[in-house]
Amino acid sequence: MARMMYREAVLSTIAEEMERDENVVVLGEDVVGGMGTAGGPEAIGGIWSTSAGLFGKFGADRVIDTPISESAIMGAAAGLALTGKRPVAELMFADFIGVSLDQIWNQLAKFRYMFGGKTKCPAVIRMAWGAGYNAAAQHSQAVHHILTGMPGLKVVMPSTPADVKGLLRTAIRDDDPVIFLEHKALYGVKGEVPDDKDFMIPFGHARLTRAGNDVTIVSTGLLLGFCEAVADKLAAEGIGCDVIDLRTTSPLDEEAILDSVEVTGRLVVVDETNPRCSLAGDICAMVAEKAFASLKAPPLSVTPPHTPVPFARELETAYLPSIPKIEAAVRKVLSYR
């Protein structure tokens, strides 16, 4: 095992997969950085440092620095994937799906289906997402509910460095298009990561990070840690929480959620997307449809309000689900009679 940051797990996994398979190519804005400047190539190596050094190691053919043209980046990833390459494209901020969604949604996601199953499209689209940086309404959003609703895409949301490693490797080796969402507030988080260069985590298998019989908490990303903190606090009072890290929202490990709710009878879903047509709403509805008889209380969701992400520290803090808000929701489902 090696101890590394979430961002380092991204970079090292890409490097290992590029080493293993010459068809893996990286493209995106500033993934090299410094092109056409006095400072020269690799002045940056990606604004998240998730491609630092790749250009020097693998060259310009395989580490493709692009103009700020998100549609063309996503489209080029689609074209590369259709013609034998395995592109790992970086969309600098998940919010930028707004300017490139056609290529993701109408092209990449649908090729296999529209073409009658006669092609594969092994592209990985990496995106930094989430609030916590005071980056305001156009650089802080959670968009996984939108992408999860698109047939043809797989949506992956690692919450730890080890999961980055195992899930990103699976994503790069997967023959379907994969959206890989990296929470920007987690880039600096450290954790133990397996050394095995074939370490992979299969999609659609959630991770139970805390075990208990009284309530089920489902989450992913930055908020997972908040949920774990709540579970640890309640454990001291003798209240047991199952905390489920979804890992992937498409495919969704419904079984892990339903199995847990069958025991606990109580569900809290904690997610960073806005509440309407959301992941939390989707999971609550799924449980209501499939495990109604097991429920001892109405499922609850903890999400931001139906507003854009605000800028000021006080406002962003108020916007995001917090440990107290999650704890209150858990106590509410526990006290339901």
Partner 1 sequence: MQLSRDQLLRAYRQMKVIREFEERLHVDIQTGEIAGFTHLYCGQEAVAVGVCEHLSADDKIVSTHRGHGHCLAKGCDVDGMMAEIWGSRDGLCKGKGGSMHIADVDKGMLGANGIVGAGAPIAVGAGIAAKINGKGHVSIAFSGDGACNQGTTFEAMNMAVVTKAACIFVFENNHYSEHTGFEYAVGTSKDIASRAEAFGMKVWRGDGTDFFSVFETMREVLDYVRVPGNGPAAVEFDTERFFGHFEGDPQRYRGPGELDRIRETRDCLKKFRASVTGAGLLSDGDLDTVDADVLQAIEDAVTKAKAAPRPTAEDVLEDVYISY
Active-site residue list: 139
**Site string (293-332) toward partner 1, x via CB under 8 A:** ----------------------------------------
List Cβ neighbours of 166 (8 Å cut-off, separation of 6 or more). 194, 199, 200, 201
| Of residues 120 and 296, the one with the C-beta less far from partner 1 | 120
DSSP type of residue 34: -
Instruction: Decide if residue 84 touches partner 1 (CB under 8 A).
Output: yes
Q: Report the nearest approach of partner 1 to the CB of residue 199 (Å).
A: 19
Taking contact as CB under 8 A, which single stretch among the options 8-16, 81-89, 209-217, 264-272 is the one that binds partner 1? 81-89
Query: Which tokens in the block code for residue 50?
Result: 């998730």
Instruction: Decide if residue 166 touches partner 1 (CB under 8 A).
Output: no
Query: Which tokens in the block code for residue 150?
Result: 């698109």
Among 10, 18, 26, 81, binds partner 1 (CB under 8 A): 81
Are 243 and 223 spatial neighbours (Cβ–Cβ below 8 Å)?
Answer: no
Query: Which tokens in the block code for residue 113?
Result: 């289906």
Instruction: Decide if residue 119 touches partner 1 (CB under 8 A).
Output: yes
The burial class, CB within 10 Å (0-12 / 13-18 / 19+), for 277 is exposed
User: Is the Cα dihedral 223, 334, 235, 289 positive or negative?
Assistant: negative
Could you tell me the strand order of the sheet in which 248-250 lies?
Answer: 63-66, 24-29, 86-91, 124-129, 178-183, 154-156, 248-250
d(CA 129, CA 98): 13
Span 197-216, contacts to partner 1 by CB under 8 A: 204
| Of residues 62 and 296, the one with the C-beta less far from partner 1 | 62
| Of residues 78 and 223, the one with the C-beta less far from partner 1 | 78
Instruction: Decide if residue 249 touches partner 1 (CB under 8 A).
Output: no
Among 1, 39, 53, 69, binds partner 1 (CB under 8 A): 69
| Of residues 70 and 242, the one with the C-beta less far from partner 1 | 70
Instruction: Decide if residue 154 touches partner 1 (CB under 8 A).
Output: yes
Taking contact as CB under 8 A, which single stretch among the options 68-76, 206-214, 263-271, 291-299 is the one that binds partner 1? 68-76
DSSP type of residue 95: G
Among 51, 66, 219, 273, binds partner 1 (CB under 8 A): 66
| Of residues 74 and 164, the one with the C-beta less far from partner 1 | 74
CA distances, 147 to each of 52, 56, 200, 275, 280 (Å): 28, 33, 23, 15, 14
Instruction: Decide if residue 24 touches partner 1 (CB under 8 A).
Output: no
d(CA 289, CA 297): 14
Q: Which residues bind partner 1 (CB under 8 A)?
A: 25, 27, 61-62, 64, 66-67, 69, 71-85, 87, 102-103, 106-107, 111-120, 151-152, 154, 174-176, 204, 251
